[in-house]
Structure 1
Amino acid sequence: MNVEEAIELLKEKGYKATGRRKDILGYFAESDGYRTAKDLIQYLDKGEDGISFDTIYRNLHLYHDVGILESTELNGEKHFRMNCTSHHHHHFICNDCGKTKEIEVCPMEEVTRKLANYEIDGHKFEIYGLCPDCQHA
């Protein structure tokens, strides 16, 4: 998803696309991997006027709820990234820097066989470790 698609989705859901919201979307569109609210605040604080934690968290959860951002938990903290809507895939996530790598393999075919009598509503498959850059650092 890119910034324009995200703004259009916000408008379709009845939300305004303010300058601050566009700044937040721009940050995630340019980021390679999952980022925290703290990362976002540090990025936005480079501007002239500050932004509150409440505003950040409110917008992050709004974007997650409407499907603009995906989230995961790393080291006990919630991380977000722009939603990948182009095709079904999963991610390797670096525990150190948060970068992601797409994984085209999906274990759901095997899981569906093992849970034949269960109704599955969805799934999320993530692998955690260290990317090559963080291994060498």
Structure 2
Amino acid sequence: MNKDEALIVLKAKGYKHTDKREDILDLFDKKGGYLSAKDIQFALREAYPGISFDTIYRNLSLFRDLSILEETELDGEKIFQFHCSEHHHHHLICLRCGRTKTIEVCPMQDLSRLDPEFLVTGHKFEIYGYCKSCQKALREADESINEADALHIL
């Protein structure tokens, strides 16, 4: 899914095209990963100084219900990204920047052997960690803190 496809879905389902909706979808198009309502509010603060979490969540819920966005939870906060309309797959999710990477392997193929009588109706498999560039940034930040601590001791 991308912004243009999402706008087509909204129109086909009879929903109004608004600047706020388009701007929210544009953020997802540019980000290429998960965003929280807080991320969206921060990004849109200049264009819409009074935009409320209520407005953002209402639109995010609508987009989720129309399968424009998919939702997951991280540290108790709902985060969203464009719905993957490709084939069945899962994601690696960076805890720092929110970028995702597709995992082509589905662990459910092996897990279904555990109880062949259990009927699985759906599943979600996500792995959380840090992408290469965020690992580097975290190491550099850690090194600066260690240097500052060493200077403070002297």
What's the TM-score once normalised by structure 2's chain length? Answer: 0.82
1:10 paired with 2:10, answer: yes
Q: In the alignment, which residue of structure 2 is the partner of 1:116?
A: 116
Indicate the residue corresponding to 1:66 in structure 2.
66
Give unpaired runs (5+ residues) of structure 2: 138-154
Counterpart-to-counterpart distance in 1, 2:92 and 2:110: 20
Structure 1: which amino acid aligns with 2:82?
Answer: M
Aligned-pair identity (%): 55
CA-to-aligned-CA distance 1:42-87 (integer Å, 9 cap, x gap): 1111215531211101001111111111111112211111111122
5+ residue gaps, structure 1, are: none
CA distance in 1, matches of 2:118, 2:57: 35
Aligned length, in residue pairs: 137
TM-score normalised over the length of structure 1 = 0.91
Distance 1:57 1:16 in 2: 17
Report the Cα distance in structure 1 between the residues aligned to 2:48 and 2:3, rounded to whole angstroms: 22
| Alignment partner, residue 56 of structure 1 | 56
CA–CA separation in structure 2 for the residues paired with 1:78 and 1:48 = 22
Report the CA distance between 1:112 and its aligned residue.
Answer: 2.1
RMSD: 1.4
Judged with a 3 Å threshold, the aligned counterparts in structure 2 of structure 1 residues 126 and 48 are, in CA distance, closer, same or farther, namely closer
